[in-house]
Amino acid sequence: MYLGYALDHGVVLVTTDRCGVIALLPPDVPAPDEQFQAEVADLHGDRLAAVTGAETPAPPAGAWHLVTLGVRPGSQGKGLGSSLVRAGLAVLDDKTPPGALVALETSDDRNVMIYERVGFVVTATTPVDTGLVVHSMLRDPGADGLSTTG
């Protein structure tokens, strides 16, 4: 569902062996329709209250949103996630002014390290009722050789 929505409205990259995927949505993406939102609510089940109850900071105006990064378990730990993020950012830099803002949220500490390696910084941490912490992150345009000055 998420990937179909991102494919319609944003950028989706899939590795040739289909072991990894990244999806990014632009700042002006239209809101999903009610049916889509209902299906997402069903997928979250009893976790929905915790997910919607978390008051994370809004991303900066004009920021793209990295909504999905996935790597099959057998392919994890080999740098594929980092490569996908770099490739996704390169596509954005071709479509937008270099160094476009990109925001994301993750509740997995391992993911924080992946994103930091490719130039994201943690901008906020938000505790959630379930004991998880949501890390809000933003692409640092000056990191990883990326620059807003072209």
pLDDT above 90 for 12: yes
Of 113, 115, 119, the closest CA to residue 146 belongs to 119
Q: How far apart are CA 84 and CA 77, in angstroms?
A: 13
pLDDT at 146: 41
Q: CA 137 from chain center: how many Å?
A: 9
For 34-59, how does the pLDDT look when each residue is reduced to its tens digit (9 = 90+)?
888 788 777 766 666 666 666 888 88
Asked if 60 contacts 103 with a C-beta cutoff of 8 angstroms, the reply is: yes
CA atoms lying within 13 Å on the CB side of residue 24: 26
pLDDT above 70 for 68: yes
Torsion of CA 89, 111, 58, 33, to 10 degrees: 80
Query: Which residue segments constitute the domains of the chain, with CATH numbers given?
Result: 2-139 (3.40.630.30)
Cα Rg of the chain (Å, integer):
15
DSSP string, 34-82: HHHHHHHHHHHGGGHHHHHH--PPPPPTT-EEEEEEEE-GGGTTSSHHH
Q: Residue 149 — very low, low, confident or very high, per pLDDT cuts 50/70/90?
A: very low
pLDDT at 56: 85
For 77-116, how does the pLDDT look when each residue is reduced to its tens digit (9 = 90+)?
899 999 999 999 999 988 887 778 999 999 888 899 999 9
Looking at per-residue confidence, does 46 or 147 come out higher? Answer: 46
Q: Which residues contact 112 (CB under 8 A, 6 or more apart)?
A: 106, 122, 135, 137
